[in-house]
Amino acid sequence: MAGDSRHLFEGTNPGIGAASGADDDAPYFVHDAQALDRAARAFLSGFPGQVTYAVKANPAPVILAGLSRAGITAFDVASPAEMALVRDVAPDAALHYHNPVRSPAEIAAARRHGIASWSIDRPAELDKLGDIAGDEIAVRFKLTVRGAAYDFGAKFGAEPDMAVALLRLVAERGGRPSLTFHPGTQCEGAEPWARYIAAAADIADRAGCRLARLNVGGGFPAHRSGAAPDLQGHFDTITQAATDAFDTPPPLVCEPGRALVADAAQLVLRVKAVDGRTLFLNDGVYGALGEWRDLPAADRVAVVAPDGQPRSGAPVPWRVFGPTCDSVDMLPAPLSLPEDLQDGDRVVIGGMGAYAGSLVTRFNGYGTTRVALPSGTGHRRRAV
Protein backbone atom coordinates (compact mmCIF):
# COMPACT_ATOMS: atom_id res chain seq x y z
CA MET A 1 0.00 0.00 0.00
CA ALA A 2 3.05 2.23 -0.24
CA GLY A 3 2.91 3.77 -3.71
CA ASP A 4 5.17 6.83 -3.70
CA SER A 5 3.20 9.43 -5.57
CA ARG A 6 6.39 11.34 -6.31
CA HIS A 7 7.35 8.60 -8.75
CA LEU A 8 4.50 9.73 -10.90
CA PHE A 9 6.51 12.15 -12.92
CA GLU A 10 9.59 10.07 -13.37
CA GLY A 11 10.15 9.36 -16.98
CA THR A 12 7.84 9.88 -19.87
CA ASN A 13 6.32 7.34 -22.13
CA PRO A 14 5.60 7.39 -25.83
CA GLY A 15 2.02 6.34 -25.29
CA ILE A 16 -0.20 3.66 -26.68
CA GLY A 17 0.58 2.59 -30.19
CA ALA A 18 4.13 3.93 -30.17
CA ALA A 19 7.11 1.74 -30.98
CA SER A 20 8.02 -0.75 -28.30
CA GLY A 21 11.23 -0.46 -26.31
CA ALA A 22 12.53 -0.89 -22.80
CA ASP A 23 10.44 2.06 -21.62
CA ASP A 24 7.31 0.47 -23.00
CA ASP A 25 8.03 -2.85 -21.30
CA ALA A 26 6.77 -1.66 -17.92
CA PRO A 27 3.19 -0.69 -17.08
CA TYR A 28 2.21 2.95 -17.26
CA PHE A 29 -0.77 5.24 -16.96
CA VAL A 30 -1.98 7.70 -19.58
CA HIS A 31 -3.37 10.83 -17.98
CA ASP A 32 -6.63 12.33 -19.28
CA ALA A 33 -6.87 15.95 -18.15
CA GLN A 34 -10.18 16.56 -19.89
CA ALA A 35 -11.89 13.63 -18.22
CA LEU A 36 -10.62 14.86 -14.84
CA ASP A 37 -11.98 18.31 -15.54
CA ARG A 38 -15.36 16.90 -16.64
CA ALA A 39 -15.72 14.81 -13.50
CA ALA A 40 -14.85 17.76 -11.25
CA ARG A 41 -17.36 19.98 -13.02
CA ALA A 42 -20.09 17.33 -12.80
CA PHE A 43 -19.66 17.26 -9.02
CA LEU A 44 -19.28 21.02 -8.62
CA SER A 45 -22.42 21.77 -10.62
CA GLY A 46 -24.49 18.77 -9.53
CA PHE A 47 -23.76 18.15 -5.86
CA PRO A 48 -25.92 20.31 -3.53
CA GLY A 49 -23.05 21.48 -1.29
CA GLN A 50 -19.26 21.61 -0.94
CA VAL A 51 -17.17 19.10 -2.90
CA THR A 52 -13.95 17.93 -1.25
CA TYR A 53 -11.57 15.39 -2.80
CA ALA A 54 -10.51 12.25 -0.85
CA VAL A 55 -6.80 12.33 -1.66
CA LYS A 56 -6.12 8.64 -1.05
CA ALA A 57 -7.85 7.68 -4.32
CA ASN A 58 -4.97 9.25 -6.27
CA PRO A 59 -2.46 11.62 -4.66
CA ALA A 60 -0.52 12.40 -7.86
CA PRO A 61 0.36 16.08 -8.19
CA VAL A 62 -1.09 16.13 -11.72
CA ILE A 63 -4.45 15.05 -10.26
CA LEU A 64 -4.40 17.46 -7.33
CA ALA A 65 -3.45 20.33 -9.65
CA GLY A 66 -6.13 19.44 -12.21
CA LEU A 67 -8.85 19.29 -9.56
CA SER A 68 -7.66 22.55 -8.08
CA ARG A 69 -7.77 24.20 -11.51
CA ALA A 70 -11.30 22.90 -12.05
CA GLY A 71 -12.41 24.64 -8.85
CA ILE A 72 -12.05 22.07 -6.05
CA THR A 73 -10.87 24.08 -3.03
CA ALA A 74 -11.12 21.53 -0.21
CA PHE A 75 -9.47 18.15 0.30
CA ASP A 76 -10.11 15.20 2.60
CA VAL A 77 -6.73 14.07 3.91
CA ALA A 78 -5.86 11.13 6.16
CA SER A 79 -2.16 11.66 6.97
CA PRO A 80 0.49 14.37 7.25
CA ALA A 81 2.01 13.13 3.96
CA GLU A 82 -1.27 13.80 2.16
CA MET A 83 -1.48 17.25 3.77
CA ALA A 84 1.96 18.10 2.43
CA LEU A 85 1.08 16.86 -1.07
CA VAL A 86 -2.01 19.07 -1.20
CA ARG A 87 -0.21 22.09 0.25
CA ASP A 88 2.45 21.75 -2.49
CA VAL A 89 -0.10 22.31 -5.26
CA ALA A 90 -2.93 24.14 -3.50
CA PRO A 91 -1.45 26.14 -0.61
CA ASP A 92 -4.74 27.82 0.32
CA ALA A 93 -7.02 24.79 0.12
CA ALA A 94 -9.15 23.78 3.11
CA LEU A 95 -8.05 20.45 4.55
CA HIS A 96 -10.46 18.11 6.36
CA TYR A 97 -8.61 15.55 8.47
CA HIS A 98 -11.14 12.75 8.31
CA ASN A 99 -9.13 9.83 9.56
CA PRO A 100 -10.78 9.33 12.97
CA VAL A 101 -7.73 7.78 14.68
CA ARG A 102 -4.55 9.84 15.00
CA SER A 103 -1.32 9.91 16.96
CA PRO A 104 -0.36 13.03 18.93
CA ALA A 105 2.45 13.68 16.42
CA GLU A 106 -0.05 13.54 13.55
CA ILE A 107 -2.35 15.98 15.38
CA ALA A 108 0.56 18.39 15.85
CA ALA A 109 1.48 18.10 12.15
CA ALA A 110 -2.14 18.75 11.19
CA ARG A 111 -2.25 21.91 13.32
CA ARG A 112 0.89 23.14 11.60
CA HIS A 113 -0.94 22.61 8.29
CA GLY A 114 -3.81 24.75 9.55
CA ILE A 115 -6.38 21.97 9.91
CA ALA A 116 -9.60 23.13 11.56
CA SER A 117 -11.93 20.28 10.58
CA TRP A 118 -11.57 16.82 12.11
CA SER A 119 -13.66 13.68 12.35
CA ILE A 120 -13.89 11.48 15.44
CA ASP A 121 -15.77 8.31 16.31
CA ARG A 122 -14.81 7.70 19.96
CA PRO A 123 -14.36 9.84 23.08
CA ALA A 124 -10.65 9.12 23.50
CA GLU A 125 -9.89 10.61 20.08
CA LEU A 126 -11.85 13.75 21.00
CA ASP A 127 -9.82 14.02 24.22
CA LYS A 128 -6.60 13.67 22.24
CA LEU A 129 -7.47 16.77 20.22
CA GLY A 130 -7.33 18.93 23.38
CA ASP A 131 -8.59 22.44 22.76
CA ILE A 132 -11.19 22.30 19.97
CA ALA A 133 -12.68 25.76 20.41
CA GLY A 134 -13.90 26.95 17.01
CA ASP A 135 -12.87 23.77 15.19
CA GLU A 136 -15.38 21.71 13.23
CA ILE A 137 -15.65 18.22 14.71
CA ALA A 138 -17.54 15.82 12.48
CA VAL A 139 -18.76 12.80 14.42
CA ARG A 140 -18.46 9.76 12.18
CA PHE A 141 -21.32 7.30 12.63
CA LYS A 142 -22.23 4.02 11.03
CA LEU A 143 -25.31 1.99 10.22
CA THR A 144 -25.60 -1.51 8.87
CA VAL A 145 -26.21 -0.73 5.22
CA ARG A 146 -25.50 -2.90 2.23
CA GLY A 147 -24.81 -1.67 -1.25
CA ALA A 148 -21.11 -0.80 -1.29
CA ALA A 149 -18.50 -2.91 -3.01
CA TYR A 150 -16.99 -3.52 0.40
CA ASP A 151 -17.87 -2.54 3.92
CA PHE A 152 -16.18 0.43 5.58
CA GLY A 153 -18.22 0.19 8.80
CA ALA A 154 -16.07 -2.65 10.12
CA LYS A 155 -13.29 -0.21 11.05
CA PHE A 156 -14.64 3.26 11.73
CA GLY A 157 -17.87 4.85 12.87
CA ALA A 158 -19.74 5.27 16.16
CA GLU A 159 -23.05 3.56 16.74
CA PRO A 160 -25.91 6.11 16.74
CA ASP A 161 -26.17 6.25 20.57
CA MET A 162 -22.48 6.99 20.88
CA ALA A 163 -22.77 9.59 18.10
CA VAL A 164 -25.44 11.40 20.16
CA ALA A 165 -23.12 11.46 23.19
CA LEU A 166 -20.16 12.64 21.10
CA LEU A 167 -22.13 15.50 19.51
CA ARG A 168 -23.05 16.74 23.00
CA LEU A 169 -19.41 16.55 24.14
CA VAL A 170 -18.25 18.50 21.08
CA ALA A 171 -20.80 21.25 21.75
CA GLU A 172 -19.86 21.40 25.47
CA ARG A 173 -16.20 21.84 24.60
CA GLY A 174 -16.79 24.71 22.19
CA GLY A 175 -16.38 22.80 18.91
CA ARG A 176 -18.68 23.14 15.91
CA PRO A 177 -20.62 19.86 15.84
CA SER A 178 -21.09 18.15 12.49
CA LEU A 179 -21.92 14.63 11.43
CA THR A 180 -20.26 12.50 8.80
CA PHE A 181 -20.51 8.99 7.41
CA HIS A 182 -18.91 7.04 4.60
CA PRO A 183 -21.24 4.48 3.04
CA GLY A 184 -18.46 2.35 1.49
CA THR A 185 -17.01 2.55 -1.97
CA GLN A 186 -18.45 2.08 -5.47
CA CYS A 187 -22.06 2.25 -4.17
CA GLU A 188 -24.20 1.46 -7.18
CA GLY A 189 -27.47 2.76 -5.72
CA ALA A 190 -28.19 5.94 -3.74
CA GLU A 191 -30.28 4.22 -1.04
CA PRO A 192 -27.43 4.13 1.51
CA TRP A 193 -27.30 7.95 1.47
CA ALA A 194 -31.04 8.27 2.02
CA ARG A 195 -30.86 6.00 5.08
CA TYR A 196 -27.75 7.68 6.48
CA ILE A 197 -29.18 11.19 6.06
CA ALA A 198 -32.41 10.24 7.82
CA ALA A 199 -30.35 8.72 10.67
CA ALA A 200 -28.19 11.86 10.86
CA ALA A 201 -31.27 14.02 11.40
CA ASP A 202 -32.42 11.68 14.16
CA ILE A 203 -29.00 11.70 15.87
CA ALA A 204 -28.79 15.52 15.76
CA ASP A 205 -32.32 15.78 17.12
CA ARG A 206 -31.60 13.42 20.02
CA ALA A 207 -28.43 15.36 20.85
CA GLY A 208 -30.43 18.60 20.83
CA CYS A 209 -27.88 19.99 18.46
CA ARG A 210 -27.96 22.08 15.30
CA LEU A 211 -25.38 20.65 12.90
CA ALA A 212 -22.73 22.99 11.52
CA ARG A 213 -22.58 20.71 8.45
CA LEU A 214 -23.43 17.21 7.29
CA ASN A 215 -20.69 15.44 5.35
CA VAL A 216 -22.16 12.62 3.26
CA GLY A 217 -18.81 10.95 2.57
CA GLY A 218 -17.56 9.41 -0.64
CA GLY A 219 -18.46 6.11 -2.24
CA PHE A 220 -19.97 7.49 -5.44
CA PRO A 221 -19.60 4.94 -8.23
CA ALA A 222 -17.16 5.20 -11.12
CA HIS A 223 -17.75 3.74 -14.55
CA ARG A 224 -16.21 0.25 -14.21
CA SER A 225 -18.51 -2.05 -16.20
CA GLY A 226 -21.63 -1.72 -18.29
CA ALA A 227 -23.12 1.76 -18.58
CA ALA A 228 -21.75 4.85 -16.85
CA PRO A 229 -23.42 5.37 -13.45
CA ASP A 230 -26.03 8.07 -12.94
CA LEU A 231 -24.28 10.47 -10.58
CA GLN A 232 -26.92 13.15 -10.92
CA GLY A 233 -29.46 10.59 -9.67
CA HIS A 234 -27.31 10.15 -6.55
CA PHE A 235 -27.16 13.93 -6.05
CA ASP A 236 -30.93 14.26 -6.46
CA THR A 237 -31.56 11.50 -3.91
CA ILE A 238 -29.23 13.25 -1.44
CA THR A 239 -30.98 16.61 -1.92
CA GLN A 240 -34.38 15.01 -1.44
CA ALA A 241 -33.30 13.01 1.61
CA ALA A 242 -31.88 16.13 3.31
CA THR A 243 -35.06 18.09 2.60
CA ASP A 244 -37.23 15.26 3.94
CA ALA A 245 -35.14 14.61 7.05
CA PHE A 246 -34.39 18.12 8.37
CA ASP A 247 -36.66 21.12 8.92
CA THR A 248 -33.73 23.23 7.77
CA PRO A 249 -31.06 21.02 6.18
CA PRO A 250 -27.51 21.81 7.30
CA PRO A 251 -24.97 22.76 4.63
CA LEU A 252 -23.86 19.55 2.91
CA VAL A 253 -20.33 18.38 2.10
CA CYS A 254 -19.21 15.34 0.13
CA GLU A 255 -15.78 13.72 -0.12
CA PRO A 256 -15.61 11.59 -3.27
CA GLY A 257 -12.36 9.92 -4.30
CA ARG A 258 -13.02 7.29 -6.92
CA ALA A 259 -15.80 9.00 -8.88
CA LEU A 260 -13.76 12.20 -9.31
CA VAL A 261 -10.58 10.63 -10.64
CA ALA A 262 -11.29 7.16 -12.09
CA ASP A 263 -11.65 8.42 -15.65
CA ALA A 264 -8.49 10.52 -15.42
CA ALA A 265 -6.22 7.61 -16.38
CA GLN A 266 -5.96 4.56 -18.57
CA LEU A 267 -3.59 1.80 -17.54
CA VAL A 268 -1.44 0.25 -20.27
CA LEU A 269 -0.09 -3.25 -19.59
CA ARG A 270 1.75 -5.75 -21.75
CA VAL A 271 1.27 -9.47 -22.23
CA LYS A 272 4.54 -11.24 -21.28
CA ALA A 273 3.58 -14.80 -22.09
CA VAL A 274 0.63 -16.83 -23.31
CA ASP A 275 0.12 -20.50 -22.45
CA GLY A 276 -3.20 -22.00 -23.56
CA ARG A 277 -5.88 -19.83 -22.01
CA THR A 278 -3.51 -18.52 -19.34
CA LEU A 279 -1.60 -15.29 -19.75
CA PHE A 280 1.07 -13.43 -17.80
CA LEU A 281 0.87 -9.64 -17.59
CA ASN A 282 3.60 -7.19 -16.58
CA ASP A 283 1.46 -6.06 -13.62
CA GLY A 284 -1.02 -7.65 -11.25
CA VAL A 285 -2.59 -7.54 -7.80
CA TYR A 286 0.63 -6.33 -6.15
CA GLY A 287 0.66 -3.44 -8.61
CA ALA A 288 -1.98 -1.31 -10.29
CA LEU A 289 -4.53 -4.14 -10.27
CA GLY A 290 -4.46 -4.27 -6.46
CA GLU A 291 -8.15 -3.47 -6.14
CA TRP A 292 -9.12 -6.32 -8.46
CA ARG A 293 -8.59 -8.73 -5.58
CA ASP A 294 -11.58 -7.15 -3.79
CA LEU A 295 -13.77 -5.78 -6.59
CA PRO A 296 -14.96 -7.57 -9.70
CA ALA A 297 -12.73 -6.90 -12.72
CA ALA A 298 -13.87 -3.96 -14.85
CA ASP A 299 -14.95 -4.58 -18.43
CA ARG A 300 -13.43 -1.46 -20.00
CA VAL A 301 -10.52 -3.43 -21.44
CA ALA A 302 -9.09 -3.37 -24.98
CA VAL A 303 -6.28 -5.54 -26.35
CA VAL A 304 -4.00 -3.92 -28.91
CA ALA A 305 -1.56 -5.75 -31.20
CA PRO A 306 2.02 -4.45 -31.58
CA ASP A 307 1.03 -2.80 -34.89
CA GLY A 308 -1.57 -0.70 -33.03
CA GLN A 309 -4.62 -2.59 -34.28
CA PRO A 310 -7.18 -3.73 -31.71
CA ARG A 311 -7.67 -7.48 -31.34
CA SER A 312 -11.22 -8.30 -32.37
CA GLY A 313 -11.47 -12.04 -31.63
CA ALA A 314 -14.44 -13.39 -29.70
CA PRO A 315 -14.19 -12.78 -25.94
CA VAL A 316 -13.16 -15.87 -23.98
CA PRO A 317 -12.17 -16.36 -20.32
CA TRP A 318 -8.43 -16.07 -19.64
CA ARG A 319 -6.66 -16.95 -16.43
CA VAL A 320 -4.47 -13.94 -15.62
CA PHE A 321 -1.20 -13.99 -13.67
CA GLY A 322 0.92 -10.99 -12.70
CA PRO A 323 4.70 -10.74 -13.06
CA THR A 324 5.96 -11.66 -9.58
CA CYS A 325 7.07 -15.12 -8.43
CA ASP A 326 4.26 -15.28 -5.88
CA SER A 327 1.41 -17.64 -6.67
CA VAL A 328 -1.08 -15.22 -5.01
CA ASP A 329 -0.26 -12.89 -7.91
CA MET A 330 -3.30 -13.90 -9.92
CA LEU A 331 -6.68 -12.31 -10.64
CA PRO A 332 -9.36 -14.04 -8.54
CA ALA A 333 -11.62 -14.70 -11.55
CA PRO A 334 -10.94 -15.22 -15.25
CA LEU A 335 -10.87 -12.10 -17.40
CA SER A 336 -12.85 -11.95 -20.63
CA LEU A 337 -10.43 -11.02 -23.44
CA PRO A 338 -10.23 -11.67 -27.21
CA GLU A 339 -9.33 -15.24 -28.16
CA ASP A 340 -6.70 -14.02 -30.67
CA LEU A 341 -4.67 -12.21 -27.99
CA GLN A 342 -0.92 -12.82 -28.31
CA ASP A 343 2.35 -12.46 -26.47
CA GLY A 344 3.54 -8.85 -26.77
CA ASP A 345 0.06 -7.31 -27.04
CA ARG A 346 -0.90 -4.36 -24.90
CA VAL A 347 -3.87 -4.52 -22.58
CA VAL A 348 -5.42 -1.07 -22.18
CA ILE A 349 -7.79 -0.59 -19.22
CA GLY A 350 -10.02 2.47 -18.93
CA GLY A 351 -11.16 4.11 -15.72
CA MET A 352 -7.97 3.33 -13.78
CA GLY A 353 -7.36 6.75 -12.24
CA ALA A 354 -8.55 5.69 -8.76
CA TYR A 355 -6.93 3.19 -6.35
CA ALA A 356 -4.58 1.85 -9.02
CA GLY A 357 -1.45 4.02 -8.84
CA SER A 358 -2.01 4.61 -5.12
CA LEU A 359 -1.94 0.86 -4.34
CA VAL A 360 1.18 -0.10 -6.30
CA THR A 361 3.87 -1.93 -4.34
CA ARG A 362 7.41 -2.65 -5.53
CA PHE A 363 7.16 -6.32 -4.55
CA ASN A 364 9.69 -8.48 -6.42
CA GLY A 365 10.97 -5.39 -8.22
CA TYR A 366 7.77 -4.83 -10.19
CA GLY A 367 5.17 -2.11 -10.03
CA THR A 368 5.47 1.38 -11.47
CA THR A 369 3.33 4.47 -11.28
CA ARG A 370 4.66 6.25 -14.35
CA VAL A 371 2.22 8.61 -16.00
CA ALA A 372 2.39 9.58 -19.66
CA LEU A 373 0.95 12.95 -20.50
CA PRO A 374 -0.46 12.55 -24.02
CA SER A 375 0.14 16.13 -25.10
CA GLY A 376 2.60 15.38 -27.89
CA THR A 377 1.97 13.85 -31.28
CA GLY A 378 1.59 10.17 -31.95
CA HIS A 379 -0.62 9.29 -29.03
CA ARG A 380 -3.84 7.61 -30.00
CA ARG A 381 -6.29 7.44 -27.16
CA ARG A 382 -8.55 4.44 -27.24
CA ALA A 383 -12.07 4.53 -25.96
CA VAL A 384 -12.25 1.86 -23.26
In the complex, the residues that contact ligand PLP under the rule CB under 6 A are 54, 56-57, 76, 98, 182, 185, 217-220, 255-259
Ramachandran angles phi, psi of 275, nearest 5°: -140, 100
Q: Are strands 50-54 and 315-321 parallel, antiparallel or unpaired?
A: unpaired
Cβ–Cβ under 8 Å, residues 52 and 255: yes
Between 258 and 300, CB nearer to ligand PLP: 258
Strands (E), the chain: 28-31, 50-54, 74-77, 94-97, 117-120, 136-140, 176-180, 214-215, 252-254, 265-275, 278-281, 301-304, 315-321, 335-338, 346-349, 371-372
Decide if 325 is catalytic.
yes
Return the CA Rg of the chain: 22
Least Å distance between CB 62 and ligand PLP? 18
Between 234 and 270, CB nearer to ligand PLP: 234
Between 217 and 338, CB nearer to ligand PLP: 217
Between 232 and 243, CB nearer to ligand PLP: 232
Whole-number Å distance between alpha carbons of 256 and 75: 10
Whole-number Å distance between alpha carbons of 286 and 337: 21
- CB contact set of 12 (below 8 Å; sequence gap of 6+): 372, 373
- Catalytic residue, chosen from 187, 209, 254, 325, is 325
- What are the CA-CA distances from residue 367 to residues 6, 133, 150, 299, 364 (Å)? 14, 45, 25, 22, 9
Between 32 and 345, CB nearer to ligand PLP: 32
Between 218 and 229, CB nearer to ligand PLP: 218
Least Å distance between CB 93 and ligand PLP? 16
Between 182 and 270, CB nearer to ligand PLP: 182
Cβ–Cβ under 8 Å, residues 238 and 252: yes
HEC sequence for 88-152: HHCCCCEEEECCCCCCHHHHHHHHHCCCCEEEECCHHHHHHHCCCCCCEEEEEECCCCCCCCCCC
Task: Give the other-Cβ count within 10 Å of 235's Cβ.
Answer: 22
Q: Are strands 301-304 and 117-120 parallel, antiparallel or unpaired?
A: unpaired
* Residues known to be catalytic: 325
